[in-house]
Structure 1
Amino acid sequence: MLIMTIATKPFASVLGVVTRIAARGFAGVTSLTKAIIHRREVLRLTELDERGLKDIGLVRSDVEGALATSWLDDPSTILAARSGARSGVASARRAEGARQAQVKAPAMKVGPVTRQSVTKQAVACSA
């Protein structure tokens, strides 16, 4: 009876199960391959100096921390999160600075700039 139930299943459903299992297996292999490739790219970031890392929004401890993760994990996702968090803080600081500058700007008296006013200011500062 058991043989009969297996034999009556359509071949397409068995093929679908096999395809799903193979796809899951390939997805694991693909993610592992991507993690290894990204780890090599992150290792190349260790060759940069502090200024180069700062240009992309990272510090050396970020790179070292990302490389300290498991070989199965993708270190580039950690670096992207850390860089994104820093850029969010930096943009908030810039926005606050711009807002404060706009508040202070109308309070300053701005008149025509002439050669005499510039020299008077220079003399007043040096005295």
Structure 2
Amino acid sequence: MDREAFNRFCATFPAAEHVVQWGNSDVWKAGGKLFAVCGWADGRDAFTFKAGDIAFEVLQERPGVRPAPYLASRGMKWLQQFNDNGLTDAELKEQITLSYQMVTAGLSKRKRAELGIPDPQPGPDGR
């Protein structure tokens, strides 16, 4: 995935907001909450997303994926794909989708309704 494809994909989420900050990074938020970032690592696009507990542990073992600089160093479970050896485009899209869902699930029901964000769907365990 390149930066242009990343931005097109992130723009498809309800209430997704794009800002450019942090040294020309493309930053995506929903309801004011960060869900994905495309910045640079060693002169290449690097994609950062929030991860669940298991994904955080498992995916950081993959080549080209690491705990996200700054965010993970503060105890948050964010990962960064920093080179092409990481996730496939489909896997990266899946992780960005999950990041969006985790972030928007934390918004109040009222805020989600105001923004047109669907209520979270229960997972396989009913939660």
Q: TM-score, normalised by structure 2?
A: 0.27
Higher strand proportion, which one?
2
Structure ranking higher in helix proportion: 1
